[in-house]
Structure 1
Amino acid sequence: MIVVTAAGGQTGTAIVRALRERGEQVRAVVSRPRPRPELDALGAEVVVAELTQPQPWSDVLAGADAFYLIWPNFDPDEDEGATALFGEARRAGVPRVVYHSVLRPQARTMPHHAAKDRAEQALDTSGLAWRVLQPCAYAQNLDEQVAEAVRTGRLRSTWGLRTGQSLVDLADVAQAAAVLLTEDGLDGGTFEAVGPEALTAPRIAELIGERLGREVVAEDVVPRGDGVGGRDMAYAGRCRRLMFDHYRAHGFVGSPRVLTALLGRPPRSYADHLADVALAA
């Protein structure tokens, strides 16, 4: 039995799917008691538990062979909450823990990266057998901008026009996570999950245009301010703004060789992803 948190989100659902395709039994942890037809259809055992409430975790982790911890994006409680759950996993005797981190967690100008860096440090000293997956930005993250580009002929880029991103397909990330959760000989390793090429916004626009048979132009769009609202919303807004500032100045690229080794094949290209996206105007 493998426990996966944040299983109702796009990353968690993809990992549950990859595990079920391998024939693994999965306990899918969600934060709210509402219908989860996508997880039911995959044959997962769906349980409700709050990541920041440790009391029920002895039951959630009971009998687990492995635990995949995904923390919700841009959450200010990640480092402390993840550390607490590593403790729960140790007390439950979980044989293997995999933490879903991020490429370049040491880039501490981005608060959500810094939180993952601190969580990785806590995992290293937790007494657990552990692995860490460090994905870059997903190809799927741009799907809304792609749909808008199909309608308008303009791709809005919040990271400028000069720097690149090594966008990775979420399906490849999920397959890599399944490898880390089920295969031996990987303990104590941090594994980057990076797409095969560094893509600038103009190059992405060119690829969309090739699919459409007409020109698409990349447009530089500076994100708005830090955000308003409660504590969590303000933190998330600040994280996004600092993230795009970092991308604009430095890009967000890495090497695909680690992911290639995990998958036993080259990772999917962004063109491969676009081939799966409906581009009807």
Structure 2
Amino acid sequence: MIIAVSGSTGQLGRLVIDKLKAKVPATDIVALARSPDKAADLGVAVRAADYAIPQTLEAALAGVKTLLLISSSEVGQRAVQHGNIIDAARTAGVSRIVYTSLLHADTSPLSLAEEHRQTEAALKGAGITYTILRNSWYTENYTGSIGGALAGGAFIGSAGDGKISSASRLDYAEAAVAVLTSEGHEGKTYELAGDTAWTLTDLAAEISKQSGKDIPYKNLTEAEYTKALIEVGLPKALAASIAGWDVSASEGALFDDGKQLSKLIGRSTTPLSVSVADALKALA
């Protein structure tokens, strides 16, 4: 009954393993990691596994019944890397794969979506039982910029009045654990998003309320936002991607009101106010 978690040393992977240990014996969990030493503190068995090195994957999956395939962080390499581990899972006899995809991946205009579409197609053609968790944005994608907003006196972006149905990493981790440890999810695709959508103007207002400082939202063009991100040290390609994702958000790419996430985890998703409070506390 072994459950393996790929990407185990990432922020989502660590949360999943922590929550998974409360549901199943630690001896039934395997952490897959490119650098096993970084997973030594997880309290479960660790196996070396590198998405980009196929020969590491089949051995890492030996005896595994269920694999949580957390998407690779290497944008541009994901489809190939995910294909490697799906192939290895089939060869190793893995019975089920649960994959973390992107909200509305089949229709999303986000530049990230194509590799998720390719991975979903590979999963469906692999002959392995699967469940697809299409995660919306992490609220932390935006609250991580609160420090810069406080320093600069404004929260900047290019999302306009786009509604963002985000949730916390913890919410998505609990959803993954719920699927990994219960039945009835075979062949299903879940669109996972926060219960209450918000705009960047709403976020700026919440930051202002909790910090006691006037932090307005300043909407920039895609080019202006790209330039601003480069000026604070982001690589040009990443800056352009982030600005483009914001533009897609302005067109509704990150909105969903189906509440499938809260149904899976059995509680309301984490409110924006809580995520802002957590971020401010971390800055204190």
TM-score tier after normalising by the smaller chain length:
0.7 to 0.9
User: TM-score under structure 2 normalisation?
Assistant: 0.86
Unaligned residue ranges in structure 2 (runs of 5+): none
2:95 alignment partner AA: P
- 2:128 corresponds to: 128
Matched, 1:219 2:244: no
- The answer on 1:7 being equivalent to 2:5 is no
Distance 1:241 1:205 in 2: 17
| CA separation of 1:244 and 1:275: change in aligned 2, threshold 3 A | closer
1:188-267 to structure 2, matched below 5 A, reads 188-221=187-220, 222-224=224-226, 239-267=241-269
Aligned pair count? 272
What is the identity percentage for the equivalent residue pairs of Structure 1 and Structure 2? Answer: 23
Closer, same or farther: CA 108–218 of 1 in aligned 2, 3 Å: closer
How far, CA to CA, are the matches of 2:14 and 2:181 in structure 1? 17
What amino acid is aligned across from residue 264 of structure 2 in structure 1? Answer: L
Partner of 1:161: 160
Report the TM-score, using the length of structure 1 for normalisation: 0.87
Instruction: Report the CA distance between 1:276 and its aligned residue.
Output: 2.5
Equivalent residues of 2:137, 2:166 under 8 A apart: yes
The Cα of 1:9 is off from its aligned counterpart by: 1.4
Flag the 1:237–1:201 CA change in 2: closer, same or farther, 3 A: closer
Q: 1:251 Cα shift? A: 4.7
- Provide the residue aligned with 1:181 in structure 2: 180
In the TM superposition, residue 108 of structure 1 has moved relative to its aligned partner by 5.6
Partners of 1:205 and 1:174 in 2: CA distance:
26
- How far apart are residue 118 of structure 1 and its match? 1.5
The change in CA–CA distance for 1:190 and 1:208 in structure 2 (over 3 A counts) is same
SS at structure 2 position matched to 1:85: helix
Whether the aligned pair in 2 keeps the contact of 1:176 and 1:263 (CA below 8 Å) is: yes
In the aligned structure 1, how far is the partner of 2:120 from the partner of 2:107? 13
**C-alpha separation in 2, matches of 1:2 and 1:235:** 36
Taking the TM superposition and a 5 Å limit, the aligned residue runs for 1:52-131 are 52-107=52-107, 109-131=109-131
Deviating runs (4+, > 4 A) in structure 1?
233-239
- The change in CA–CA distance for 1:72 and 1:248 in structure 2 (over 3 A counts) is same
Q: Which runs of 5+ in 1 are unaligned?
A: none
AA paired with 1:31?
R
Residues 159 and 248, structure 2, Cα contact 8 Å, conserved in 1: no
